[in-house]
Each structure stands twice: as structure tokens, then as C-alpha cells.
Structure 1
Amino acid sequence: MLKQSLELQSIKNIVALLPYQYHQELTSVLMNHFVQEIRLRPNQSIEVVLAGESFFLRNTLFNEADATFVLNQLSQHSIYAFEEELRHGFLTLRGGHRVGIAGEAVVEKGVVKTIKHIRTFNIRISRALEKVSVPYLQGLYEGRWKTSIIAGPPQSGKTTILRDLAKIMSNGYERLNIPPQKVAIVDERSEIAASFEGTPQHDVGKRTDVLDRCPKAEGMMMLIRSMSPNVIIVDEVGSEADIRAIEEAASAGVAVLCSAHAKSMNDLEARGIISSDTFEGILLLNDKKEGHFVHKKRGKL
């Protein structure tokens, strides 16, 4: 019953972002479909995205007044956070749901300062799926957690697996004799723990500490100094600074599990992500959310 009530409350929170005339149909859709995204575009019908397909709500035409309503609803969560998050292009809501925004970027000295004339929104429905990382545990853990990359194209399940791994690492997994560990998450884009006002909205384990909205390279060093983790989890690495920080963490005895955008080993190699000998395992996912382990020199393990 608790899980059901939370789901119903989550639906109410999402529906409340839109004007009243959309509530009935949108509520029905959310209760009867596994919705991934709700896309709002100016002078277009509202699109509902499911796994591998989408459809449009009947008799809807999202207009400028509707966009203003959505913005007013979003800003009620926190005026300060709203202003700060605009320049990142998204906002995180209670429950871990994320609203991507698009409009006119205000750029100063090559840096996006904020976004104005916001008319486009992408409401991404957040769900924590349990045990999705279990099929890969024996490749990631061999008496200890191995510093590893989870790679794949967009929406292949990278972040979902990292989130589930955080919980398993933190709580332990008796079936495979994996003991609990101190886990730290550098959640630069609030996608793993989906923190809202400092509190993770997803269950990432009882021994997990989250540093939200902090650049990955700097955050890893901060957490090593302040929280003494056994394992660090970060999402979407790619810069040289990220790789150097992972190398430093590994040299300090801290395992790092991270994700990276890549469709193949060639992509990882071209970006220089796996040039470091620090990485011990690579889990490559495809667009069907299926994964296999590979070795950067010898092919599939």
C-alpha cells in the first residue's frame, strides 16, 4: 500500500505541473502506461513517450499561456534553486523526476548564464528499478569492487544500473557474499540519487553519502578527504580531469564505478576514456538495455 500511495502522490505531483484541462487524461495515461517522458512543445499536442513508442494526447495544443503556468508551478519548489538550475537546462522535482527546459539561452563570455522565453519542457519520469545490476555483479566484484566503466548509448540503462549498484554496494548482497561498503556518489546532474533540497529521492543505500551538483573531478577529491568512502560512483565521465581524478582515487585505494556515453569500444577509445590502465572492467550496454563485459585489448570476456 505504501508503494502504491507513493506512486499516486507522484502522479499527482506531475499532473499538477500542467493546467487543469489536461489533468484527467494525463492522470489516466500515467496510471495505465509505463510512461518515460511527457514532452511539451509550443503550439503542438502533448507527446507521451513510452518504451519504443509514443503518442499524443487528444485535443491538446500546448500554448504560451500553458508554458507560463508550468513555469509558475516549477518556481514554487524553490525560487533560488529555480534560478540556479535554469542555466543547467533542467530542474529536479520531489520524487526524483526531472524537467528539461529549452528556450532562448542568455550567454555571457561564452558561458550560458540562464535561459529565457522558456516554452519547451521534457518531464522525465523517474523510477528506481531494483536488482537490474545483479546479472553483472560477478563481473564487477571479485573479492572487491573493481574500478569499472558502464558504457552505452543514451537511454541504455547506464544510470539505472549505477543507482542500483549504489544500493547493493551500500547494503551488501548476501547471496554473493558481498559485504556492505561505504559508498559516495558525486551526482553532478542529480540523475543518480535525484536529490531534492539535499535529500536523495531514490534509495541509494543506508551507507551512501551524496554530493549533489558538484563537478565530478573536484567532487571525487572532496569526498575522499571528507567521507572516506570505499567506493565512489559518478555518472557520465569524459574529460581529462575526470580520468585523472579516477586515477587518483584508485591510487588511494578507492574503487570508482562510472558511466560514459559510447556505442562501442571504438567510441571509448576515440574519446581516450579507456587509455588509462586504471579501469579493470568495462560493461557495454546496447539500446535494448542488454550488456556484456569486454576487455579493452582482448575483446569479450
Structure 2
Amino acid sequence: MTTTTRPDILCIGAMLWDVIGRAPRRMAPGADIAGRIRHIPGGVALNVAVAMARWGLSPAVLSAVGRDPEGQALVAEAGRLGVLTGWLTRDTGLPTDCYMAVEDSQGLIAAIADANSLERAGESILSPLSADLAGWTGPVVLDGNLTEDLLAAIAVDPRLAQADLRVVPASPGKAERLEPLIAARRGCFYLNRLEAEILAGRACPDAATAAEAVVARGAARVLVTDGPDPAAEAVANGPTLTARPPTVSVARVTGAGDCFLAAHLAAALSNQPRQTALRQAVEASAAHVSGKDVP
């Protein structure tokens, strides 16, 4: 460990470089047009951690990052952004992971996530829970870039038995990895409508219906976003809430769900009411899509 600061929250999952190509107009399949390409720190776990730092909290990331130049630069930039990096797994002998996406004026076209190093590191990224972070009872963000086997192990890991788990799939293609946590009735889930439909096993007309369908599968608490349409929060044995995001122009989409989660969790940690927390989350997500960062 290289830090003595006790974190407020643990973010477990992907920490990598995002390579995002963005076109200023609608793209057809096979199109080759001028645009902008950015290299920025990314990965669900790191995105949430960076957003939590903007809310004045001290987040730490548990992930695998190489000792290659890309990894060294990523760790330095994460630290500059307020993220605690002293508990990372570095000595894997593997390169730092990377995510590549193409967006146009309407949103995401396609993306490829190379999280091979994280997947191969496996349970080793959790080793700080047996040392400096033993007895953790605070919030923990889990992202679906973790393997299904590791997520299943986390669901019954005694080191996290008292933790407040906040779970996000990372992409629709990884939503089914969350099944062990639903079966264990662990965690608060943050999903988009497609991810919720995958977990519910059926199509749903809106976020509220989708959130209720995942709760019916066994989850205790589920938040579902639906692009510009109302987001929803459903809980077992309680009312379902909705909130419509502000209308904004789309400047970017990658990371919007991570900003939603961070803003919602920040509100929860300051004991805000459910409706206030949901409103803060949709406003933060919309601000990110518009090109701004909040707070």
C-alpha cells in the first residue's frame, strides 16, 4: 500500500484507458468521416471513482493496472483526479487494459472493451480486503467487467458481508454476469433499460416497469435509466419513483451511467430522500451527456 488515507468508498472493476472517437453528425455503417479522438482515463470502476471524488469523497479503486508506460500514466492521472490508487494490483506482468468506442451525434455506434488483464488477475485484486481494508462495511461499487465467477465469489465473500454493494453491468452484453448477486439478494443495481430487460427476461415499455421486473426476480433495489426518457427506482415492498432527465444536446455518452451512479450514491451517503437522490442522479447524467461535469 502506498497511501495512509482511509477511503470512503471502494470501486472494484475496470481501470483502463478510454479511446473515444466522436463524429459531429450521424454515421452510416462503414462511414469514414472527420471527427475527434480522445484518450481519457476510463473503466466503470475508475469512472465512478473520479465522479465520487468530484462529490468531495475519497474513493479507492481495486483493479489490475500494468507497470507499462500506459499504466504508469493512468495511475498518475487517476491520482491527480482525486482517486486513491494505493491498493491496485500492479505486478501482473500484463499490459494495461483499454476500451475503444465510436460515437456520433446520436450516441454510441460500437465499442470494444479489452479487460483481459483484469479478468486474468481475478481474485487477486481483492487481496487488500484481507489486509489494510479488512472489515470493510462501507459502500462498494462492483462493475460487470469482473468475471461471472468472481462476481459469484463476491456475493458470498465474508470480507464483504457487511458492505453496501452497488452493482452496475458495464454493458448489456455483461448484464447476465450479475445473476449470482441477484440470486444472493445482494446489492443495489444500476441498469439501463436494455440491461434490465435482459435480467428480467422480457421486454418492458419503460424504466419503471423494467425496474419492477428485476425486483420481482429477487433484487431488493433497482435503478433503471432510459436515455432521455424517465429513469426509475424500484424497491421491494415500497413505491416506485421516476424522474425525467433534463433535455440536453448530446456531446458524449460514454460514462453517463457511471455519473448517474456516483451522483445517486453521493446523495444517499448524505442521507438525502430517495426522490432527491434520483433527481440528482438524472441531472448529473444529463450534464455529463451535454459535455459538462458536476458538481
Q: Given the two structures, how large is their TM-score scaled by the length of structure 1?
A: 0.29
Task: Give the greater-gyration-radius structure (CA).
Answer: 1
